[in-house]
């Protein structure tokens, strides 16, 4: 309990040290460079209200949120495309084996037909009637029955194999269509991500160095305010569970990635996006989980916040576009966004959607 209080106090202190000025203070974003045009247009631009740095922060945050949502769409489409590619390869192998089986069955059927031709072209029944040896008659009757069964089995297997081959071919065609559809989704999501990140960078590039530093402070202030409110609710009084053995392994992996950059779509080892970090951490712990934060929220078992334990995943924002791993003492490890590195921050520093547990 003392360790938890100390760690919680340390997180709060780190956040508090970033509050170097009142959150209400704002810097004006730099005005755009003058452009040619009518005097009225210039006057209108001059008289237009300038955005505060807090408004700029919110605008940039919204762009990164849109990029995160598009990244989830990209990752899901990529994951599905990878599965469909693997399925197509598997189906292609089955098609090859099925065709080889059909060729073998046809060869066997052809051999039987050629044997009949060598016997004078008479069906076995006719040859049997012509014999006057009782023993040969009985032996021949037995062979005819066996031969008829073998022929029936041969034709049945050939029919089944042809049906399987047709099904494999149809499934391969369906998977190919899904693969192409997901490639289109990937391309669309990638375009959206690129657009949102470019828009955010354009805004940040217009800021002076001092304003960029202040922007980071405002970002930290907002996280500190949200974390403080969350801790003030007394939530940590109810959260006192230990991590499972697999959870400890997942936390060990995730915290070992601290300092590595966020890159959208990345799953390591040199960089991660938010769900790339959590999915790889749990994979390292021996538990496969969905690739994206939205699929983690949709498919993993949900639990109450008061019941969460280290190793559980906290899903953030109404669209489930962000995820972090709870490591205890009111903190998470996560990959925040482009331009930031994997880090530890307060679990309540963002809007929580809910908690899921991978090892249930």
Strand (E) positions, the chain?
Answer: 301-303, 313-316, 322-328, 331-334, 343-346, 352-357
Structure tokens that stand for 317 in this block: 């924002």
Residue 301, beta-bridge partner list? 357
Pairing mode of beta strands 331-334, 352-357: unpaired
Measured CA to CA, the distance from residue 99 to residue 78 in angstroms comes to 31
Which phi and psi angles does 336 have, rounded to 5°?
Answer: -65, -65
The upper half-sphere exposure of residue 39, i.e. CA atoms within 13 Å in the direction of its Cβ, equals 0
Active-site annotation holds for 6? no
Q: Which of 6, 15, 274, 317 is catalytic?
A: 274
Measured CA to CA, the distance from residue 82 to residue 47 in angstroms comes to 53
Q: Which of 6, 15, 317, 334 is catalytic?
A: 334
Active-site annotation holds for 322? yes
Which phi and psi angles does 282 have, rounded to 5°?
Answer: -75, -30
Active-site annotation holds for 317? no
Residue 260: partners with Cβ closer than 8 Å, 6 or more residues away: 268, 270, 271, 272, 335, 341, 342
For the annotated catalytic residues, the residue numbers are 274, 322, 334
């Amino acid at each position: 309990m003392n360790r938890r209080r100390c760690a919680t106090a340390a997180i709060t202190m780190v956040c508090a040290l970033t509050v170097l000025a009142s959150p209400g203070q704002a810097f004006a974003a730099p005005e755009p460079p003058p452009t040619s045009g009518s005097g009225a247009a210039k006057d209108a631009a001059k008289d237009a209200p300038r955005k505060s740095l807090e408004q700029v922060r919110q605008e940039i945050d919204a762009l990164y949120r849109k990029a995160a949502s598009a990244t989830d769409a990209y990752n899901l489409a990529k994951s599905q495309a990878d599965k469909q590619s693997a399925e197509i390869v598997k189906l292609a192998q089955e098609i090859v084996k099925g065709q080889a089986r059909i060729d073998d069955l046809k060869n066997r059927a052809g051999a039987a037909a050629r044997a009949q031709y060598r016997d004078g072209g008479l069906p076995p029944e006719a040859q049997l009637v012509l014999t006057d040896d009782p023993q040969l008659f009985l032996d021949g009757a037995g062979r005819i029955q066996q031969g008829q069964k073998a022929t029936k089995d041969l034709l049945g297997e050939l029919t089944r194999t042809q049906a399987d081959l047709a099904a494999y071919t149809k499934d391969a065609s369906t998977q190919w269509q899904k693969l192409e559809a997901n490639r289109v989704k990937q391309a669309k999501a990638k375009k959206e991500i690129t657009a949102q990140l470019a828009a955010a960078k354009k805004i940040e590039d217009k800021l002076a160095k001092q304003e960029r530093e202040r922007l980071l402070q405002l970002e930290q202030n907002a996280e500190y305010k949200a974390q403080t409110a969350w801790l003030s609710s007394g939530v940590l009084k109810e959260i006192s569970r230990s991590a499972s053995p697999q959870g400890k392994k997942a936390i060990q992996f995730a915290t070992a990635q601290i300092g590595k950059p966020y890159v959208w779509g990345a799953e390591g080892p040199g960089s991660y996006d938010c769900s790339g970090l959590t999915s790889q951490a749990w994979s390292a712990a021996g538990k496969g989980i969905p690739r994206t934060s939205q699929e983690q929220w949709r498919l993993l078992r949900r639990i109450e916040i008061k019941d969460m334990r280290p190793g559980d995943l906290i899903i953030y924002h109404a669209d489930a576009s962000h995820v972090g791993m709870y490591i205890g003492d009111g903190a998470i490890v996560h990959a925040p966004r482009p331009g930031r590195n994997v880090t530890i921050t307060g679990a309540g520093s963002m809007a929580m959607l809910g908690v899921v547990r991978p090892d249930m």
